[in-house]
Amino acid sequence: MGFGSGQMNYWEERYQEGGPSNTGQVVESYRWMWSVIKKYDPHPEDIIDVGCGDLTFWKGRDCLNYLGIDISPTILKKNWKERPNWKFNCQDAATPISSSAKTVLCFNVLFHIVDDEDYLRIIENLTKATEKLLFIFTWTRDPYRTPAFILRHPGAFVHYALGRSGIYGIVPHKFRPMDNSLFVQAGLVLIGRHICPLNQGIGTMYVYERKKVKPFKKTQPQVGLWG
């Protein structure tokens, strides 16, 4: 699981050194992500945020029932101080999530999961935790295979092509195409797929909804025919 595969060490060390969850066009991409969320959930008030990180995504926003899950105790301690009314749980997302919420978020996490079994467990846990909506923001194109990246970082490309993870093996990264069948099997349907216009369209927001179960129709007992 993630704790054993070095995932915890990487993030814990990064946060202990004061590093942020994300770099690059953070403000613009969070603004775009919020605009997508609001289309489906105009007032998100019941949230589980898996791999919540440093909560920059939540800057200037609030939520009535919020549970943030992350593997790093350092970032969660910091979050607790900033948001004393919110709940936080330090756990590997590959271990079962013991609660559920109307809306589950998992942003910029899946492409950091290197172990294939952990990846499948995380997807399963996300699908079980959502009562209605599941938003996943992840890569739809492998940035390591873009010509711009290969030209800028040939060493990192070779490293990655040889099956080692991440930029020079430091940041854990692994690209996998999204497999919708995993969500369908779990009773969810894909209701939206939005390619982010930033960062060369590498990231996509996937929106899943729990399939509505049709209420069982009671047939009227036939009375009076024989009795």
Ligand X SMILES: C[S@@+](CC[C@H](N)C(=O)[O-])C[C@H]1O[C@@H](n2cnc3c(N)ncnc32)[C@H](O)[C@@H]1O
Q: Which residue is nearest to ligand X (CB)?
A: 53
> What element of type H or E holds 67?
strand 65-70
Report the alpha-carbon angle 89-100-47, nearest 5. Answer: 70
Q: How far apart are CA 175 and CA 203, in angstroms?
A: 11
Among 44, 47, 48, 57, binds ligand X (CB under 6 A): 57
Of 142, 136, 135, the residue nearest 177 (C-alpha): 142
If the CB atoms of residues 109 and 188 are measured against ligand X, the closer one turns out to be: 109
Residue with tokens 């069982």: 216
Torsion of Cα atoms, 160 then 165 then 170 then 173, to 10°: 100
What are 130's strand-pairing partners?
A: 101
Question: Per rule CB under 6 A, is residue 22 in the interface with ligand X?
Answer: yes
Question: Per rule CB under 6 A, is residue 166 in the interface with ligand X?
Answer: no
The identity of residue 191, as a single letter, is I
Question: Per rule CB under 6 A, is residue 76 in the interface with ligand X?
Answer: no
If the CB atoms of residues 154 and 169 are measured against ligand X, the closer one turns out to be: 169
Question: Per rule CB under 6 A, is residue 11 in the interface with ligand X?
Answer: yes
Question: Per rule CB under 6 A, is residue 72 in the interface with ligand X?
Answer: yes
Among 41, 76, 103, 112, binds ligand X (CB under 6 A): 112
Question: Per rule CB under 6 A, is residue 111 in the interface with ligand X?
Answer: no
State the residues that interact with ligand X by CB under 6 A.
2, 7, 11, 21-22, 51-53, 56-57, 69-72, 75, 92-94, 107-109, 112
